[in-house]
Amino acid sequence: MKVTQRSDYTFKYNKKLGRHGWLRLTPAYSVKLVKEIIDNIRGSSFILDPFSGTATTGLVAAEHGLSAHCFDINPFLIWLGNAKCRHYSNDELSFLKAGIELSLAECKEFVKQDHWLPDIHNITRWWCEHTLKVLAALRQALVNQFGEPKKEDVSALAWIAFCRLIIETSAAAFNHVSLSFHDEVTKYEIEQIEFWYLKIVDAIAQSASEDIAGSATVYFADCREPVSINDVKYSHIVTSPPYPNRISYIRELRPYMYWTKFLDTASEAGELDWKAIGGTWGVATSRLQNWESNGVELSDSLKRVVSQILETEEKNALLMANYVWKYFHDMHLHLQNLRSNLKKGAVLSYIVGNSSFYGVQVHTEKLLEDSLKSLGFTNIGSKVIRKRNSKKELFEYCVYAIYEDRGKYEPRFFGAKQPKGEQLALL
Ligand SMILES: C[S@@+](CC[C@H](N)C(=O)[O-])C[C@H]1O[C@@H](n2cnc3c(N)ncnc32)[C@H](O)[C@@H]1O
């Protein structure tokens, strides 16, 4: 069996899976992949996902009756993740439906006036003026019933449905790794918006009514720093950090974050991306130009890769070299601090992707293995999961390790045949 693209190991697999499909984020990983990793984990285990994103790990763990904590630095994703993992009573869901009905009735009146619109650059590329007027009226009606978003109660479901509505009615296309736009925007009448919104709310409320056996909570935390939640020590880390490929999560999350007021300005978006590992949006790019490491000792292989990028003498060679350097520097800090959160024998599973800059291959899996080795982890290795791109030689791997040896360990086989020795690295 050769290494193939395996769309079942991507976010596409999650679209029809109840809570997992509420809102998509292209870099989210597949529920199937997480299930394969956690299938053999026992009920007494405690899972941590330090890069929660849309809380795929947390939700899969909770659905399996396990306990999980998740971290993220993006407040929108923390809010979304907690709404996805929460328990909802029948009374709460009835309250939601009643509030939605009142909102839709009010929307008919509100559409005659102008209402607040988010300050999204080139907004008419996303929605036409007419659709915007209807969306703004619905938003105002929802504010009147449920208050502004950000609350951690059942009202979050009304806002998640609204986020889904704005993306479904927009000209954004998510066919690629990052988003692009259709040439034309569609005009939606109020009746169509109402119809779609109700359909989305019904689907979300239906999956929210299905209870989950375990529990998962998403916390605000920068996982490069020491963090402790109630002194819990974790037995498993199951996660997918950003890849060093200059894909910005903020870029894709912008429409949701602006409409829900988690973001107000473009400069805020840049600041948030600068905090993210691998961040690359707006101000993050200019800061990278002058960025210097604060003394974290990194591997010779990384130094070689960084020098090779610099030696290409391409216009942005310094920027890209710093980008790669900072990415592995930040991941090293994360792994270094993570140790104090781990139980003896804890198993780490990191899903990562390799990348390439000006023809210089960045073997993320090998470079992270170097960090793990220097930090005293054992049983370190990586397995290829899938090919990420039809043209370039980009792959996804599971990098694994154990905190404080507990004997022989090798993770499950993720479907793809493992290439022999260094063959893959040299492709
Ligand atoms: C690849 S995404 C995770 C996707 C996730 N597995 C899912 O299924 O949705 C990486 C996440 O790491 C978060 N992140 C980046 N830097 C971080 C940091 N320093 N501390 C905590 N979270 C961070 C980003 O905000 C993003 O949500």
Instruction: Give the pair of three-digit tokens for residue 104.
Output: 């839709």
Quote the tokens at residue 188: 């939606």
Q: Distance between CA atoms of 80 and 89, rounded to whole angstroms?
A: 18
**Per-domain boundaries in the chain:** 7-86+215-249+265-402, 90-209
> What distance in Å separates the CA atoms of residue 206 and residue 213, rounded to the nearest whole number?
17
- Show the tokens assigned to 73: 């630095």
CA atoms within 13 A on the CB side of 339: 15
Cα-to-centroid distance, 244 and ligand 1 (Å): 12
Query: Rounded CA gap, 37 and 64, in Å?
Result: 12
Residue by residue, DSSP assigns 40-77 as: T--TT-EEEESS-TTTHHHHHHHHTT-EEEEEES-HHH
CATH architecture of structural domain 7-86+215-249+265-402: 3-Layer(aba) Sandwich (3.40)
Q: Tell me the two tokens of residue 368.
A: 């992270």
Nearest to 80 by CA among 166, 136, 22: 22
Residues paired with residue 360 on neighbouring β-strands, in sequence order: 357
pLDDT score at 127: 95
Pocket test for ligand 1, best of 15, 25, 51 (most atoms within 8 A of CB): 51
pLDDT at 391: 63
Question: What letter does residue 357 receive in the DSSP assignment?
Answer: E
Cα-to-centroid distance, 202 and ligand 1 (Å)? 29
Of 142, 144, 130, nearest to 190 by C-alpha is 130
| Helical segments of 21-169, H only | 31-38, 56-63, 75-85, 90-110, 129-146, 155-168
Distance CA 367, CA 302 (A): 7
Is the alpha carbon torsion for 327, 328, 333, 335 positive or negative? Answer: positive
Closest ligand 1 atom number to CA of residue 330: 19
Q: Is 22 in the pocket of ligand 1 (CB under 6 A)?
A: no
- How many whole angstroms from 269 Cα to the centroid of ligand 1? 15
354 lines ligand 1 (CB under 6 A): no
DSSP 8-class letter at 181: E
Q: Is the CB of 240 under 6 A from ligand 1?
A: yes
Tokens (6 digits) for 271:
């600041």
Q: For ligand 1, atom 19, which residue shows the shortest CA distance? A: 222
The residue contributing the CA closest to ligand 1 atom 27 is: 53
- To the nearest 5 percent, what fractions of the chain are helix, strand and coil? 45, 15, 40
Residue corresponding to tokens 């019933």: 145
Tracing tokens 């800061």 back to the chain, one arrives at 287
Q: Would the pTM of this model clear 0.75, i.e. be above it?
A: yes
- Strand pairing report for 46-49 and 67-72: parallel
What angle, rounded to 10 degrees, do the helices at 190-209 and 155-168 form? 130
d(CA 167, CA 263): 16
Say if ligand 1 is within 6 A of residue 27 CB.
Answer: yes
pLDDT for 234-290, tens place per residue? 999 999 999 998 888 888 899 999 999 999 998 898 899 999 999 887 888 889 888
What is the DSSP-derived secondary structure letter of residue 19? Answer: G
Where the chain has pLDDT below 70, the residues are 1-16, 174-179, 390-392, 406-427
Nearest alpha-carbon partner for 396 in 364, 358, 427, 373: 364
Determine whether the shortest distance from the Cβ of 365 to ligand 1 is under 6 A: no
Contacts of 31 (CB under 8 A, 6+ apart): 13, 14, 17, 20, 56, 60
Contacts 24+ apart (CB under 8 A), 9-17: 9/33, 9/385, 9/386, 9/396, 9/414, 9/415, 10/386, 14/56
Burial (CB count <10 Å: 0-12, 13-18, 19+), residue 344: exposed
Predicted confidence at residue 393, as pLDDT, reads 84
